[in-house]
Amino acid sequence: MSIPTLPNPGLGTFRLQGDTLKRVIHDALALGFRHIDTAQMYDNEQDVGAAIAESQVPREALFVTTKVWHDRLEPASFKASVEESLEKLGTDYVDLLLIHWPSPDDAVPMADYLTALREVQQAGKARHIGVSNFTIAQVDRALEILGPETLLTNQIEVHPFLQNRAVVEHCQARGLTVTGYMPLAVGKVLKDETLKAIAEAHGVTSAQVVLAWTRSRGVVAIPSSTRREHLAANLAADDLTLGDDEIEAIARLDRDERIADPDFAPDWD
């Protein structure tokens, strides 16, 4: 089975809701975005679904991702969560269904919730399945449970200040696409002098430099923005190619600065 390609970049929707989110999705789809990332925990699936329904883009042309929160991993609750997501999104299936976080302290055995994940896929409610915030050891356990070539992605935090090299390289070696969330480090990349200098050399923005760097690593980015011009710039970053020296300069920015680190997170690599 060949690994499908996730549209890159995607549109992150964390912290966006209501009319603002609908406007952003309308703008994004008009500009050419086809990958929309949401989650039950974001409390915006209904707004995402409404915006998709209002758009002129057919559902089959979109790649929609949602996620099951860690308090819904017991199999019966897991499947109920998926049904709730589908109803809110107004669709019979999602293109990608993720485990949002591994079960804290393995309160729910991984085999239980991954089996439920696979059963949802087999029922036609998710075209692809994957995980998020999994460590190297957890990815390996997941593949032992489900088998090779079953998981499309591990969605993890990736930006110049947290490059997550070991996890990225391990996932890619195991056949998983890496999806990087918070690629702009909640705006912190815009203040970095190294990124500013590279951007000025190319006549682009620091955000575009980061997205080009992310793409050079084979990572799918899902930046979030509320401004149409920034959405357009995120897509235009696909035309930017960085030099080896520039990529090396960005590599030196890694400082293990993790932004998403809740108390229920796993023991990071």
Let me know if residue 171 belongs to a domain: yes
Tell me the H-state helices in 34-189.
45-54, 75-89, 110-122, 136-146, 165-173
Beta bridge partners of 68: 99
Q: What are the pLDDT tens digits along the chain (269 aa)?
A: 344 689 999 999 999 999 999 999 999 999 999 999 999 999 999 999 999 999 999 999 999 999 999 999 999 999 999 999 999 999 999 999 999 999 999 999 999 999 999 999 999 999 999 999 999 999 999 999 999 999 999 999 999 999 999 999 999 999 999 999 999 999 999 999 999 999 999 999 999 999 999 999 999 999 999 999 999 999 999 999 999 999 999 999 999 999 999 999 999 99
Let me know if residue 234 belongs to a domain: no
Clarify whether 42 is annotated catalytic. Answer: yes
Which CATH number belongs to the domain containing residue 157 in this structure?
Answer: 3.20.20.100
The CA-based diameter of the chain, rounded to the nearest angstrom, is: 54
Let me know if residue 243 belongs to a domain: no
Q: Which amino acid type is present at position 190?
A: L
Let me know if residue 210 belongs to a domain: no
Let me know if residue 239 belongs to a domain: no
Let me know if residue 122 belongs to a domain: yes
Q: What's the domain range around 55?
A: 11-185+218-225
pTM: 0.97
Task: Please report, in range form, the residues annotated as the binding site for substrate.
Answer: 100
Q: In total, how many domains does the chain have?
A: 1
**Distances 36 to 32, 138, 181 between C-alpha atoms, Å:** 11, 26, 12
Let me know if residue 81 belongs to a domain: yes
Let me know if residue 34 belongs to a domain: yes
